[in-house]
Structure 1
Amino acid sequence: MKKHLLTVAALLASLTSQGAYSLQLRMDKSDAHYKAGETAVCNVLLLKDGKPVSGEKLLCTVKWEGVPVRRDIIECGGVSGQVPFKGEKPGWVYFGFEVLGKDGKPLRDPALYTYKNKPGIAGEAGAMFDAEKIKAVGERPADFDEYWAKCRADLDKIPLNAKIKELELPEPHRNKVRLFAVTVDCLGNLPVTGYLALPVGARPKHCIAVVDFLSWSSSDANRNAAISAAAEGAIGFAATWHGLPAGRPRDFYVQELKKPEHNVLQDCNNRDKWYFRNVYFRVMRALDYVKSLPEWDGKTLIVRGGSLGGLETIVAAALDPNVTLAVAGVPAFCEFNGRRAGRRRSIPYRSEAFDRRFVEEPGIPAAMAYFDAVNFAPRIRCEIFVCTGFTDELCSPSNVYAFFNHLPDGKKFMTTDPYTGHGGTTVNVQGDERLRKQFKEIKVRPYQP
């Protein structure tokens, strides 16, 4: 089952800057889903001090699958301008707008920027053509399942040896939630690290469990996610992705992740040595630990995360049959071989140098296939809620659809938004609603007066 649900109010997506200028964007189809051969039209209105502008100009960069194909100048006449694009085949189109100054160059006022990592972009929108027909290319390794079964068996030989340290909590959660910093032994170079939160007075075998996976950032695990789950009466566990100790200042993670042992580009031609193999081990081991807790009800195991955390959510759902619900936002590592289909390659391998290496060194795509979200998709049997934004240039929506379309039918749901992108801007509306429903079903409220 699949459903598209917009998260923008009134479907107009007013992208307003902090300065005098603002943009209003509207696709001519509210959900921005088109059939191949149709023309998508992006309507744009430039405002200044809240009023339509005449006599000024916008530059729109149109990209097909992340590659610029056209740059249009829009003469602002006080009414909406239009930027059309005809999609001839399944795929993704992006519209990025910049305000031009009197010198004809894009204004570089940070107050105009929609995202700080996209200098000059004052507004953006996107659309999909025949999203349901986007198919992943390449063959799933014949021994894919056998390989991960062996990895699982090797991991099982390592005792959990969990070490926990209780932490003090401020109000309003004090006397309601207990919080612990956790370290769990794991196969590979680093342990599982993160935070465990439990409802005070939780009884054995009475709590559902919610595991949050961290996005690719130089930061600590999200302890607030674990605390929030425990406040609902669930076991909450928030894991780091990097395996570094929890509770350190941000600069600690920034400096540590610069060290050679955290170079994610090395050994990418060897499935047994690549950096993220250990990350996937830690995903499995985090679930092992949570399932070992006496408070877990043995029935409900929820995983969630965004970006890299979305990928980890996918891996968790694919490799642990106890997972009952997965909420994966804007997931990474979908289609390492996307170039073969005319799409972008997943991060972190997008440079021209790596494009050449993928062709010249067949060992690289062969190894990466064991870590591609697309190849984990057929293993997922639980409910899974995915989201993607059509302005996401980091984890491209067409790559996400290649993964989504590879999932078994029946328990999959997609939320899309034409006007949002990465960095927490795209909300997994259906997934969040499913989680709220799950929390409402919790019968035990151990800290109610």
Structure 2
Amino acid sequence: MPLTQELLAELHNYQGRNPRPADFDAYWDAALRELDATDPQPELVPSKELSPRNSEAFDLWFTGVGGARVYARYLRPKNRAEGGADGKCPALLQFHGYAGSSQRFLSKLVYSGEGFCVAALDARGQGGRSEDNSTVRGTTYMGHIVRGIDDPDPRKLLFRQIFLDTAQLARVLMRFEEVDPERLGVIGCSQGGGLGLACAALEPRIKRAVIGAPFLCDYRRVWETDRAVDAYGELGHYFYNFDPKHERADQIFTRLGYVDCQHLAPRIKAQVQFYTGLMDTITPPHTQFAAYNKITSPKELVVYPATGHDVPFECDQSLQFLLGL
């Protein structure tokens, strides 16, 4: 049997190594109640960057948990008469890679040209415009996975707030008069893939999700296989400086379990198209399958045996999948 088939058989049986906190469900149920109590106060400002012929471009601002003003680029088709019932359009949420941003409007025009309203989030504290107003005890150096890891309150984990921002953005879009709230999708790769999983888990009205090589999954497996480098390098930095004897390893990985997408995956109701490269050294395949194997909704796996982290997740196949919204 070819090595690829042996590896795939192992991957399909893999259930993850990172611990799931005992109060995981209560943690996220309380987080969603906080989100319910947060008025998003959306604001649309016509973009000064671009005036496309067939779409309208906006800077979208909304309020996330803790009062932060969060930014997304937003495009909607100018001609929405054929969008569906009452001229409403399907909507797509787009999430970027770690430390990146929503980038330019140009990369979203293919979707608005196909009749989607498109919102691309800037994750808090990364390369875009969103406000990071969080305060935590302990180190904030070398990455967002460890931001809040030493705070007595696990609600201070920054990725908790970022995950909730994805759900808040979905809620904002569903209230726009041009959006059909029954036809929402998400798309992203790497960190964007992890945020797509989180968004679909925390907002069960998401109908379709294109997930590429997701980050933020199965941290302990990353550490145990010496892959705490590159995007996960902050884990190595943290242990080296703050727990060099690994006396608190169980405690640390359990804390990270609150923001491990594999544990959120069972909440997903959306139909999922999942892209993975078996040569990925940035987000190793086992960590990705820890999440994929826990998705219980309809799902499709697209495997590239000789591809690394740069999987072609935005392709004809994924667009056709999203056109089913």
Where do 1:417-428 residues align within 5 Å?
Answer: 417-422=304-309, 425-428=310-313
In 2, Cα distance between equivalents of 1:333 and 1:245: 18
**Conserved 8 A contact 1:181-1:195:** yes
Amino acid at match of 1:417: Y
Structure 2: how far apart are the matches of 1:340 and 1:426? 23
- Name the counterpart of 1:232: 114
SS in 2 for 1:130: helix
* 2:180 corresponding residue in structure 1: 297
3-state SS of paired residue (2:27): helix
Q: Distance in 2 between matches of 1:404 and 1:156?
A: 28
User: Which residue number in structure 1 is paired with residue 221 of structure 2?
Assistant: 338
Q: How does 1:152-301 map to 2 (within 5 A)?
A: 152-167=32-47, 173-174=52-53, 176-188=54-66, 190-202=68-80, 206-242=88-124, 263-264=143-144, 265-270=146-151, 271-301=154-184
- Aligned mates of 2:101, 2:75 — CA distance in 1: 19
Aligned-partner Cα distance in 1 for 2:243–2:284: 17
Q: d(CA) in 1 for partners of 2:214 and 2:275?
A: 8
- 1:298 to partner: Cα distance: 2.0
Q: Matches of residues 35-434 of structure 1 in structure 2 within 5 Å?
A: 35=6, 130-167=10-47, 173-174=52-53, 176-188=54-66, 190-202=68-80, 206-242=88-124, 263-264=143-144, 265-270=146-151, 271-338=154-221, 344=227, 347=232, 348-351=234-237, 353=240, 356=244, 359-408=247-296, 411-422=298-309, 425-428=310-313, 432-434=316-318
Q: Structure 1 pair 219/434, CA: closer, same or farther in 2 (3 Å)?
A: closer
RMSD between superposed Cα atoms in Å: 3.2
- Kept in 2, the 8 Å contact 1:212–1:225? The answer is no
Judging changes above 3 Å, is the alpha-carbon distance between structure 1 residues 321 and 222 closer, same or farther for their aligned structure 2 residues? Answer: farther
TM-superposition CA deviations, 1:25-68 (whole Å, max 9, x none): xxx94xx5233xxxxxxxxxxxxxxxxxxxxxxxxxxxxxxxxx
User: 1:71 — aligned with what?
Assistant: none
Could you say what secondary structure the match of 2:156 adopts? coil
Equivalents in 2 of 1:262, 1:341: separation in Å?
20
The one-letter code of the counterpart of 1:338 is: R
Is the partner of 1:436 in helix, strand or coil?
helix
8 Å Cα contact 2:227-2:282 kept in structure 1 = no
Q: CA deviation at 1:262?
A: 8.4
Deviation at 1:205, TM superposition (A): 5.7
Q: Which amino acid aligns with 1:167?
A: S
- Asked whether the equivalents of residues 132 and 401 of structure 1 are also in contact (C-alpha less than 8 Å), the reply is yes
Tell me the distance in 2 between the aligned counterparts of 1:168 and 1:132: 47
Deviations 1:127-155 (A, max 9, x none): x5622122213543332222111111111
Aligned partner of 2:36: which letter?
D
2:134 aligned residue: none
TM-score, structure 1 normalization: 0.61
Contact 2:94 2:121 (C-alpha < 8 Å) held by counterparts: yes
Identity rate, percent? 22
CA distance in 2, matches of 1:208, 1:405: 28
- For 1:213, give the aligned amino acid: F
Pairwise CA distance, 1:208: 0.5
Distance between the aligned counterparts of 2:129 and 2:33, measured in 1? 31
Q: CA deviation at 1:246?
A: 5.5
Contact persistence 2:276–2:304 (CA under 8 A): yes
Q: Deviations 1:257-299 (Å, cap 9, x if unpaired)?
A: xx96885234214421122122112111111111111111121
Q: Which shows bigger deviation, 179-188 or 268-277?
A: 268-277
Q: Tell which has more relative contact order, 1 or 2 (C-alpha 8 A, sep 6+).
A: 2
Instruction: Name structure 2 gaps, 5 residues minimum.
Output: 131-138
* Per-residue deviation, 1:389: 1.4
Distance in 2 of aligned mates of 1:194 and 1:334: 24
TM-score by length of 2: 0.82
Q: After TM superposition, give the deviation of residue 357 of structure 1 in Å.
A: 6.7
Runs of 4+ in 1 over 3 A off after TM superposition: 168-171, 218-222, 243-248, 259-263, 339-346, 354-359
Structure 1 distance, partners of 2:169, 2:295, is 24
Q: 1:323 to 1:139 in 2, by over 3 A?
A: same
Q: Which has the higher helix share?
A: 2
Q: Deviations over 1:328-380 (max 9, x none)?
A: 11100110121687574682424562785754254322211111011011111
SS of the counterpart of 1:332? coil
Q: Distance in 1 between matches of 2:129 and 2:235?
A: 31
Label 1:291 to 1:245 Cα distance change in 2 as closer, same or farther (>3 A): farther
Name 2:133's counterpart in structure 1: none
Amino acid at match of 2:287: N
Structure 1 CA distance, aligned partners of 2:60 and 2:50?
A: 19
Deviates more, 1:137-146 or 1:319-328: 137-146
Structure-2 change in CA distance of 1:268 and 1:412 (3 Å): same
How far residue 307 of structure 1 moved from its aligned partner, in angstroms, is: 0.5
Larger radius of gyration, structure 1 or 2?
1
The count of aligned residue pairs is 306
Going from structure 1 to structure 2, the CA distance change for 1:357 and 1:333 (only over 3 Å counts) comes to: farther
